[in-house]
Amino acid sequence: MISAKCPTCGKSLTATIDPTALPFCSPRCKQIDLGRWLKEGYVVPGRPLDEDELDEAPAMDPDSDDE
């Protein structure tokens, strides 16, 4: 059996957990993690862009059919 822990609270995951909450132990822990992302508690590492690079970045058009 594979042993795993909830990334939010550290509780051991068992077969009795809500499968829709995976990889978390509960919907509550899932919501806590989402809140941390939305409040920028987590960040994806990378080098900051300069002002010039921000101006040159392509604008995202939600109506565009390009994929």
Q: Give the residue from 11, 28, 33 showing the smallest Cα distance to 3.
A: 11
Q: Where are the domains of the chain?
A: 1-43
Q: Which amino acid is at 30?
A: K
Mean pLDDT of 18-43: 89
Structure confidence by residue, pLDDT tens digits, 38-63: 998 888 888 877 777 667 656 666 56
The CA distance from 56 to 52, in Å, is 6
pTM equals: 0.58
> Contact at 8 Å (CB) between 25 and 7?
no
The CA distance from 21 to 3, in Å, is 16
Confirm or reject CATH 3.30.50.10 for domain 1-43, answering yes or no. Answer: yes
Residue that has been written with the tokens 């080098």 in this structure: 47
